[in-house]
Chains A and B, each alone.
Chain A
């Protein structure tokens, strides 16, 4: 990737240093040892089963349907979920987990389009016209009922956004207590010099708005309904 450009940096930052009444700082700033770090206490000693319970409860709050299945039954359960939404066309990630979780024949169906398979960037339109978008979760946050998607390449960000419905496939091995565990991992990768994926989404249920008299309306610009399929992969 070619380097970008930056303009007016020095005058801008010199002014800040001056207003702060000191020399400009370009090195040597360490993050403080924060006195309180309550984020690490949240559900610190919970087992996976306990975290799953928390997640399921939270899904009620965020208007998200939940199904539970074994790896073996996943194709059947996924089919049910799609039928319940009355969906036909599906848009899915190009993700090896579809085959490792026994969904190869599902991915090969004619009414299922795999992200990146269309010629000349038609994917956005295809995804837009799909009834349901389906992705795996890379991480899952119990506290907030959130699936974390590390988008990029075959894992297009449109798939979880443009179709009318969204289904997240959640292997139980991806569950952590809260956002802190995931942001720490991203922080460690960034510190090691890795480029952070161009789009990371923390998705908690369907889109919604309370802009009209603070009445909650589920389904605005993103999916209008969402379903989490919890897969026991232990």
Chain B
């Protein structure tokens, strides 16, 4: 699956999201719980702001010296007997992995969760070559067997599905005959997948953080599937976005701590696994062969720009879990495997504005995301920056028509969204805003930003507003 998911227009996706009550209920509950857990995990530490300052400093230093640390990493992997492949493009990365699969005559490949392999459509590439690729993360497994339903959240990919839907999928496709109880469903998946692990020729994983000083990678998981994928198969391939690296194990400690607390509110997840592959002389498990694929795929274009700090992201999803817009429209509305605020910042950077131009407007600019971010990425400022660029571009391209910056898109339209956010949106930013109401001209961005002055916002819920807007449009 490429970064972009589906061909539906942004409006259609949002509409679908809004009409999916199952999804909306599930997402609402999940967001609330994740957020509460994170708040507790922050509080326990007492000095969360100091941790954020340290984390930001670590990420900034690492990215400023990325060439240095990636070189150190690759040298150390090679010294330990592993192989490193630097891939500028998805095609290069996939070709390399396909080549290994062919050399190993691999039939079965077991995967643990990896966003970057989704980003570059690695599964499809391997399947074309005749390999069976099995996702082993429970959420990913559910999506995969349900005809490759796209993920809707970067930590809990099947968040949009409820247990009854999952039971039905298992029953229809895997002959499951028990209840919708999550324990029973999980037990079933465990049994189904255990044999697959034992038979797999290759294990493919993502990388949470690579450690430059020792040529190691780390995997942060709860289920144990990433451990299985790196313990049993004879060949291990780990794929990382080039920015997912720390200088030493000391920084790894800090980043892992922040990731676990921010993502799921745990002090540490059940398994933090540091792998310095391949296996050593005398080891009887772990891979005999280890490949590390380091992927650029547009990331280097972000370096040296105003958006550089977007590469500090540790994929914890904290910004998604506080986002009032995500709460209403769900992950699929973003049309990218990276949803929520970070997705709205990152997707246009990695894949261009063409497919993702509405995303920077899918925000209330309430800054809840920025406050939640453990590495202090100024997400809402990046969204503003995107809007400026889009507005500039449109000035240039829409013959004679002058479009200034657009209003605030969806979230500003609904006081409910404001209320859910922890802060009042900085409305003063917009040239079109007057004390909480927003007036603006016609919008070229699909119908999305084409919102006239927002009518009596406190009486209108987001979904009603969206419906009315559609009526007005047609």
Q: Please give the residue numbers on chain A whose beta carbons come within 8 Å of chain B beta carbons, in ascending order.
A: 1-9, 11-17, 19-21, 24-27, 29, 31-32, 34-39, 41-42, 58, 62, 115-116, 121, 123-125, 128, 141, 143-146, 151-153, 156-158, 161-162, 179-180, 183-184, 186-187, 190-191, 195-215, 217, 219-223
Contact = CB atoms under 8 A, between A and B. Distances in A.
B66 A20 contact: yes
10 closest Cβ pairs, A-B complex: A222-B224, A211-B139, A12-B86, A202-B272, A221-B224, A144-B267, A207-B224, A1-B81, A19-B303, A220-B223
Contacts of A214: 29-30, 33-34, 156, 159
A70 B87 CA distance: 55
B61 A31 contact: yes
Contacts of A20: 64, 66-67, 303-304
14 contacts: A6-B86, A7-B84, A9-B71, A11-B86, A16-B242, A36-B51, A36-B54, A121-B284, A151-B283, A180-B253, A204-B267, A217-B183, A220-B186, A222-B227
Contacts of B179: none
Of residues A151, A180, A220, which shows the largest number of chain B Cβ atoms within 10 Å of its Cβ? A220
A38 B80 CA distance: 33
A93 B263 CA distance: 33
A32 B96 CA distance: 36
B429 interface: no
A190 B231 CA distance: 23
Contacts of A4: 77-84, 290
A3 B61 CA distance: 30
B273 A9 contact: no
Interface of B: 26, 29-30, 33-34, 45, 47, 50-51, 53-54, 57-58, 61, 64-71, 74-75, 77-88, 92, 96, 136-139, 142, 156-159, 161-163, 166, 182-183, 185-187, 189-190, 193-194, 197-198, 213-214, 216, 222-225, 227-228, 230-232, 242, 247-254, 256-257, 264, 266-286, 290, 294, 296, 300-301, 303-304
Contacts of A13: 67, 70-71, 86
A213 B163 contact: yes
A27 to B, nearest CB: 8
Contacts, number: 317
A174 B276 CA distance: 23
A26 B256 contact: no
A7 B193 CA distance: 34
B131 to A, nearest CB: 21
A220 B275 CA distance: 21
A144 B190 contact: no
Nearest to A205: B270
A146 B303 CA distance: 37
A104 B427 CA distance: 72
B185 A212 contact: yes
B227 A211 contact: no
A67 B104 CA distance: 46
A116 B223 contact: no
B268 A179 contact: yes
A183 B247 contact: no
A206 B250 CA distance: 26
Given A12-B296, A201-B271, A210 B156 contact: yes
B286 A199 contact: yes
Contacts of A153: 280, 282-283
A129 to B, nearest CB: 11
Contact of A211 (B54, B71, B158): B158
A34 B57 CA distance: 7
A60 to B, nearest CB: 13
Tell me which of A13, A144, A191, A210 has the highest count of chain B C-beta atoms within 10 A of its own C-beta: A210
Contacts of B249: 183-184, 186-187, 190
Contact of A3 (B81, B223, B270): B81
Q: Which of A13, A210, A212, A222 has the most B CB atoms < 10 Å from its CB? A: A212
Contacts of B281: 1
Nearest to B268: A144
B163 A212 contact: yes
Contacts of A123: 284-285
A207 B77 contact: no
A165 to B, nearest CB: 13
Nearest to B51: A38
Contacts of B51: 36, 38-39
Contacts of B225: 220-221
Nearest to A15: B300
A35 B53 contact: yes
A1 B280 contact: yes
Given A29-B65, A209-B223, A161 B231 contact: yes
Given A16-B303, A161-B227, A2 B222 contact: no
Given A195-B80, A217-B183, A39 B257 contact: yes
A217 B182 contact: yes
Given A161-B231, A191-B248, A199-B231, 8 more contacts: A13-B71, A37-B54, A121-B284, A204-B267, A207-B270, A213-B29, A221-B136, A221-B227
A6 B77 CA distance: 9
A164 B237 CA distance: 27
A12 B142 CA distance: 36
Nearest to B305: A19
A125 B232 CA distance: 10
A38 B250 contact: no
A12 B159 CA distance: 36
A63 to B, nearest CB: 10
